[in-house]
Structure 1
Amino acid sequence: MATIRELAQYVGVSIATVSKVLNNQNGVSKETEALVLQAAKKLNYRPNLNARHLKTGTSKTLGIIAEDLTVFNTPDIIDGIGVCCESRSFHYILGNLRFDKRFGHETGNAEQKNRLVLDMMDQMLSKQVDGIIYIGCHSHALAMLSRSEDTRFVCAYCYSEDPSIPAVIYDDRQAARRVTDLLLSKGHAKIGIVAGTKDSFHTNNRLLGIQESLYEHSVPYNPHFICHGDWTRDLGYRCAPVLLERGVTAIFAMNDLMAMGVLDYCNHNHIEVGRDLALIGFDNREISSVSRPALSTVALPLFEIGHTAASIMLDMIEKEGVAQPSRILLDCAIIERESTGFPSA
């Protein structure tokens, strides 16, 4: 593998000229630029990123800390980050905390989780990253991330308790409001809700959106139409008969797994979803499009969350002093399929 000095000697130009070409700077003829790039490919030149960092003060590298790579939302967020980094000639280093594998849906273990986060941050900073994007398993507040002179942070799919740290999440409340509007427009005044856990950020924001829609349409809010779940398919199955016995004609499940549990119950009991009962989920998981009937759902802007978070981070690095947003809420999209009947006009 050639050095920049060897590359310059091979082409017969100065080191400064080679450096300008490799860093996309002006002042070099097209012919010389082509010769340098051809030689770099032939000699298998690779830039010394550590040397570049010492010279420019930036490593052109981001750190990504993911709470768990196996959770459905994370890959598309990382894809968005990657596309943004590629478009602006940045690289990234990826770290996986494995929270879901280690702890499942447990809400405790705060001290152990914090220790894992801090250890991963130390690893990232030891590699001279220019900033860290933190990706949550779900939208929740982070106490351990705070503004620092030495470290730039952006949160994706979660947020920091420190409001000076930018966060990019999606608008649960508005999405649930639009789902309720949709079901009401189809004539369903008795809407059952298979909610998530009571302490969940997502659950509470979605309940607010549902209540706002019902209020605007002068439909009374009935707390007996809510069955709290634990985000699992089995729980959706158990909630279905409870809500059906209370007379609901439509069910809004707060994730697709619980919606699939409702669908299982209906299929086992000869209830035709899409005709006898309207059903809609949330998250647009792969299973929603291949179920029978196909499940209406809410698609999350996961790629956009990653791309936006990376764009904010790169602006922080390249445009120091420019004010950055505290929290960005991105819109979700409702995908109507067979389970809610024919699309509304």
Structure 2
Amino acid sequence: MASIKDVAIKAEVSTATVSHVINGTRYVADKTKEKVYAAMKDLDYSPNMVARSLRSRKSNTIGLLVPLLAEDTSNFFFMSIANGIEQVLKENGYNLVLSNSNENADMEKDQIKVFNRQHIDGLVIAPVNGKEHRYEDQFNGEYPVVFIDRRPQGYKGDTILVNNRQGTKEAVEVLLNKGHEKIGFITGTLGITTSDERLEGYKESLAQHHIAFNKSYIKEGPATFQKGYQLAEELHKEGVTALFVANNVMTMGSVSYLQANDVKVPDQMAIIGYDDYDWMKIASPPLSVVRQPAFEMGKAAVEQLLKRIHGDTEGTNEVMLNSELVIRGSC
């Protein structure tokens, strides 16, 4: 492997000059920089990034911690967030390290400990369920943190969220305006702020249309395909004429039940799902959805994080992004 001394000899400069070019620690003329970069390329020389980060306490690496589950198609949502993050990071010379909490509080704590040891410059995190976890005691305070998608309880810090309440409210209003009064609501486990906010939007829309809230129309369970299928069946037997399904994987299960039992959509059952994926466009009929701005959330999160890294210490910042109601043929 080539060394910094080899680069200096080939570029006909001192090793100190090569170091200044690599680390940006002193002005070096453009012509000299070009010689150094050309020598590095010819020799296939890569700086020791670990040693540089230990010296400067800056690694140019951002961590992303998200709650991925093997059976949950919301993983696509978090990967879209990661794409938005990566686009901004590449433009600013940073790298991304992805980690998974598996929707488990203990695993999340362990992953934060790992990031604390890795000299990251900042962390973007979608926290696990909405219970209080005292995040102040988990972070080492050496890097800024931005929370996404879910609002952590008991922690004041930068957050980038989607207006789940408003998106759900608008979707349920569409169903109400089409004459549906018996509207079922299928959700993953409540207690996660996103799920709770979507339920609030459902209730608010009913109240504004003077429709009595019926607790039996609320069906909650693990966010799985099988549970979505089962809960759609229960609501169909209870006589609802429309469904709002608050996550993608349970939407898939609900649609599967309707298709398997020849329930005509939207004539016998209208349905609106949450999140927008390609399969929804080719369903028969195409599915109406609340679309989340996942890519934009990622970009907004890392832009806020970079501000903190570059010295902005003013207050805390909460950004609320709007979702988009996409009407197709299912309602």
SS at match of 1:339: coil
Task: Report the secondary structure of 1:281's partner residue.
Answer: strand
User: Percent identity, aligned pairs only?
Assistant: 29
Going from structure 1 to structure 2, the CA distance change for 1:158 and 1:215 (only over 3 Å counts) comes to closer
For structure 1, list consecutive stretches of 5 or more residues without a partner in the other structure: 104-112, 341-345
Question: Post-superposition shift, 1:176?
Answer: 0.7
Q: What's the offset of the Cα at 1:12?
A: 2.0
Match of 1:303 among 295, 301, 305: 295
Per-residue CA deviation, residues 161-207 of structure 1 (Å, 9 max, x unaligned), is 34333222322211111111222333333322223334443332112
CA distance in 2, matches of 1:254, 1:149: 35
Give the TM-score, by structure 1 length: 0.80
In the TM superposition, what is the alpha-carbon distance from 1:60 to its structure 2 partner?
A: 1.5
In structure 2, C-alpha distance between the alignment counterparts of 1:203 and 1:122, rounded to whole Å: 28
Contact 2:161 2:319 in 1 (8 A): yes
- Provide TM-score, normalisation by structure 2: 0.83
Structure 1 vs Structure 2 CA RMSD: 3.0
Contact kept, 8 Å, 1:132 with 1:151, in 2: the verdict is: yes
Count of residue pairs brought into register by the alignment: 325
Contact 1:139 / 1:169 at 8 angstroms: preserved in 2? no
1:82 is displaced (CA, Å) by 1.7
* Mapped partners of 2:225, 2:308: distance in 1: 42
Structure 2: distance between partners of 1:177 and 1:304: 22
| Residue 52 in structure 1 maps to residue 52 in structure 2 | yes
Match of 1:87 in 2: 91
1:178 is aligned to 2:170: yes
> 1:121 & 1:256 partners in 2: Cα distance?
28
- Give the 3 Å change call, closer, same or farther, for CA 190–87 of structure 1 in structure 2: same
Whole-Å separation in 2 of the counterparts to 1:230 and 1:95: 22
- Pair 1:46–1:322, CA change in 2 (3 A): farther
Q: Measure how far apart 1:279 and its partner are.
A: 0.8
Q: Encode CA deviations 1:245-288: one digit per residue, 9 max, x unaligned.
A: 54433211122333333333333333211233211111224442
Do residues 237 (structure 1) and 229 (structure 2) align? yes
1:332 to 318, 323, 328: 323
Residue 117 of structure 2 corresponds to 126
1:108 alignment counterpart? none
Structure 1 residue 29, shift from structure 2 partner: 4.5
Residue ranges of structure 2 left out of the alignment (5+ in a row): none
Superposition map of 1:69-108 within 5 A: 70=70, 71=72, 72=75, 73-97=77-101, 99=102
1:23 Cα shift? 5.1
Going from structure 1 to structure 2, the CA distance change for 1:320 and 1:257 (only over 3 Å counts) comes to closer
User: What letter corresponds to residue 122 of structure 1 in structure 2?
Assistant: K
CA drift at 1:24: 6.5
The residue aligned with 1:106 is none
1:223-262 matches, within 5 Å, as 223-262=215-254
User: Does the alignment pair 1:196 with 2:196?
Assistant: no
Question: Using the alignment, how far apart are the partners of 2:97 and 2:256 within structure 1?
Answer: 41
Q: Report which stretch shifted further, 255-264 or 207-216.
A: 255-264
The 1-side partners of 2:117 and 2:222 are apart by 39
